[in-house]
Structure 1
């Protein structure tokens, strides 16, 4: 693994972690990674993220940018 791909890996993992902690919206996370929101949600889901826990806060966070 070269330095650039390692940096990309770390950026992706940090972004997913911030999303999982509720500190970053999926839209902002996708923008940070330069990918579409749906692609980010797929990455986050594959990494074990719980996309919605059915709370009012989760709904508000996920629909805020629509």
Structure 2
């Protein structure tokens, strides 16, 4: 799962989760920003693709390195 959290003053105000597939706001400002980000289809598509681009790519590298070390 890919999660991108946004914080201000140590308070999480918005989060993108690949399992949900969209941004969720936890404060009034976070809800407003999440709505803006969710309405931007190109931006939202890039976040949905991040799981394959970032997580699966680097997890394979990490997995291969762990297996060669043991």
TM (normalized to structure 1)?
Answer: 0.34
Higher relative contact order (CA 8 A, sep 6+): 1
Kindly name which structure, 1 or 2, has the bigger radius of gyration based on alpha carbons.
2
Higher strand share: 2
TM (normalized to structure 2)?
Answer: 0.33
